[in-house]
Amino acid sequence: MASWSACRERLSKTIRKLRTDAAECRLISDLATDPAKRDLFDRLALHLTTLADQVELAMIDAAKSARG
């Protein structure tokens, strides 16, 4: 079983990746001229941000549980 430190590092990387992808989707949405594509990338950005938030909350909960 992986140590908490290794798991925390992987989760932190995942959070950064999700937030980076969300920012890229926001940029694409801002630059899109097609309203359907603008909406699609806006929704993707929102979804990726929500996923990052959920992973971050799970990581905080796991850290609290690991401490006792």
How would you write the pLDDT of the chain (68 residues) with one tens digit per residue? 568 788 889 999 999 999 999 999 999 999 999 999 999 999 999 999 999 999 999 999 888 887 76
Identify the pLDDT of residue 62. Answer: 85
Nearest to 63 by CA among 3, 4, 12, 18: 4
CA distance 34 to 30: 10
Taking each helix axis from N to C end, the angle separating 35-67 and 4-31, rounded to the nearest 10 degrees, works out to: 160
What was the pLDDT predicted at 66? 76
pTM tops 0.85: yes
- Spatial distance between the Cα atoms of 41 and 30, rounded to a whole number of angstroms: 9
